[in-house]
Amino acid sequence: MRLHSSPRLLALSVAPLVVNSLQLPFGITLPAALDSRLSSLRTAVTQIQVPSFINKIIDPTGSSPLLSLHRDLVGIPSVTGDEEAVARFLEAYLLAKNFRVELIPVASPEYPAGQKRYNVLAYPAGGSRKAPILLTSHIDTVPPFIPFKDGLRTVYGRGSCDAKASVAAQIIAVEELLAANAVTEDTVALLFVVGEETTGDGMRHMNTLDMQWEAVVFGEPTELKLAVGHKGLAMLTVEARGRASHSGYPNLGVNANSHLINALYKLDHLTLPSSKLLGNSTLNVGMMTGGVAANVIPAFASAEVAIRIAAKSFQEVKDIVEGALKDVEGVEATWKQPFYDPVFCDHDIEGFDTIATSYGTDIPNLAGKHKKYLYGPGSILVAHGDNEKIDKSDLYEAVKGYKRIVKGILNAKAVAIVPPESASASAPVVTEAETVEAVTVSAKVEVPEVPANRGAEGKNGKEEEKVEYVTILPVDTA
């Protein structure tokens, strides 16, 4: 109603909105004032009946299946341990879109009794849970919950980037692939797991279900680039023990802090493996405690250390660290969970920039010989911050990206998929895969054997052979 009383406002606001609906390229920002004008205008407009084309301009989120699914997901709090509501939402959403949905309970002794946590597995109603291609991401977020907030070209809220942007884009991508007959119903499944942000218990639970896939596309923020892999992780506590005494008589005591300093100096100057693909391993002494007062020889000191492993394995890095600490008096290293080797991802699909990431994912938690792709909208740099956000244009781009990856997987394997009911028909159903030979006339998806040695060590064997050992100096002395 205020719309009529304020024609000037309308004139000011609609022009940029029309531009926005055409998906502005990155880097073009509109004044914040317009954003708030938009909000008040939108509020005014939702209270009156308007033709749908106006609604599309005024409320691009509400009228976009992608943006509104994303908004609904972000609006549901789902800090790790508290994922039931978002799982139930996805169940209802996917059922309504003609998917079969399994809520897979994940036992969680560490959370309050009665707390229900579910992984959500979905596949087209005419398909099967044995689909060869899986798109997966996680539905839990880090704390605290931050409500959804809409902006002109960016939306905010906890999980808006990590990883509900991936969840929404994967769902819409599969819906669009099916609608366009670009894949058959038995080609693709969706899996959204709990617990990624803490222990990975949701994904590891899948290993108990005797399921396997030919290719798995993991959704995490990779800035719309195809990840070549991510570093491995080792974490340890270094403890130093001494004997307390008066600081005036140090010969009567043993200084635990001195032991710890010796140990940490060695760790800070370690020579660790690096690879061309993932760069240098890095080591961070993240926390130190020791002693009780300036005039007491400390009896105990400890430090927490995290190492991001760029080449070789957790075991190799553990051996290097233990070798370095062997001759340091009075210290002991305790290795912590979780730990994992560097992860090397498949990135054999044309048309994507690549990226090496330094954060952990669920990839090492899912056992099997599947191909591994890692891709998603948004930047990890905002993922866990107070200002978590995602550009709407990135969400749209990610839908295209996931579709291209699925088609690329099908292309690469030259898979011809024919639905069971038309097994005698000759037309292949993989419409976009022009290089695919339509030779297989069977209901089965035929995929070449994956060599048994692929995976963490195997896949990029050539690149990985070039392991160098690099000493990262802790302080930039320049």
Ligand X SMILES: *[C@@H]1O[C@H](CO)[C@@H](O)[C@H](O)[C@H]1NC(C)=O
Q: Shortest Cβ distance from residue 78 to ligand X (Å)?
A: 35
Q: Is 279 left (phi over 0), alpha (psi -120 to 50) or beta?
A: left
d(CA 19, CA 9): 16
Q: Which of 313, 316, 308 is nearest to 286 (CA)?
A: 308
Please choose, out of 6-14, 68-76, 130-138, 272-280, the segment that lies near ligand X by the rule CB under 6 A: 272-280
Q: Which of 196, 197, 220, 388 is catalytic?
A: 196
Residue 470 touching ligand X (CB under 6 A): yes
344-363 residues near ligand X, rule: CB under 6 A: none
Residue number, 87 or 311, with CB nearest to ligand X? 311
Q: Inter-axis angle of helices 164-179 and 65-75, to 10 degrees? A: 150
Residue number, 269 or 400, with CB nearest to ligand X? 269
156-185 residues near ligand X, rule: CB under 6 A: none
Residue number, 181 or 471, with CB nearest to ligand X? 471
Q: Shortest Cβ distance from residue 214 to ligand X (Å)?
A: 33
Residue number, 65 or 279, with CB nearest to ligand X? 279
Residue 280 touching ligand X (CB under 6 A): yes
Q: Shortest Cβ distance from residue 186 to ligand X (Å)?
A: 43
The strand pairing partners of 246, in sequence order, are 296
Residue number, 208 or 477, with CB nearest to ligand X? 477
d(CA 17, CA 15): 5
- The binder of ligand X chosen from 279, 338, 419, 474 (CB under 6 A): 279
Residue number, 62 or 474, with CB nearest to ligand X? 474
Residue number, 280 or 357, with CB nearest to ligand X? 280
Q: Is 399 within 8 Å of 66 (Cβ atoms)?
A: yes
290-329 residues near ligand X, rule: CB under 6 A: none
Q: Shortest Cβ distance from residue 282 to ligand X (Å)?
A: 9
- The binder of ligand X chosen from 12, 103, 285, 472 (CB under 6 A): 472
In degrees to the nearest 10, what's the CA dihedral of 189, 192, 197, 200?
-60
The residue whose two tokens read 């035929």 is 446
Q: Shortest Cβ distance from residue 225 to ligand X (Å)?
A: 17
Please choose, out of 32-40, 274-282, 388-396, 443-451, the segment that lies near ligand X by the rule CB under 6 A: 274-282
Q: Shortest Cβ distance from residue 470 to ligand X (Å)?
A: 5
Residue 412 touching ligand X (CB under 6 A): no
Please choose, out of 29-37, 93-101, 273-281, 399-407, the segment that lies near ligand X by the rule CB under 6 A: 273-281
Residue 467 touching ligand X (CB under 6 A): no
Residue number, 3 or 470, with CB nearest to ligand X? 470
Q: Is 196 noted as a catalytic residue in this protein? A: yes
Residue 62 touching ligand X (CB under 6 A): no
For the chain, the first-to-last Cα distance in angstroms comes to 64
Number of residues that bind ligand X (CB under 6 A): 5
Residue number, 256 or 270, with CB nearest to ligand X? 270
Q: Shortest Cβ distance from residue 153 to ligand X (Å)?
A: 33
Q: Shortest Cβ distance from residue 275 to ligand X (Å)?
A: 10
Q: Shortest Cβ distance from residue 272 to ligand X (Å)?
A: 10
430-459 footprint of ligand X as x/- string (CB under 6 A)? ------------------------------
The strand pairing partners of 136, in sequence order, are 191, 218
The strand pairing partners of 233, in sequence order, are 308, 340
> At 469, which amino acid appears?
Y
**C-alpha distance from residue 470 to each of 269, 274, 282, 310 (Å):** 10, 6, 10, 11
How many Cβ atoms are within 10 Å of 251's Cβ, its own excluded? 7
Which residues contribute to the site for ligand X (CB under 6 A)? 274, 279-280, 470, 472
Residues forming the active site: 196
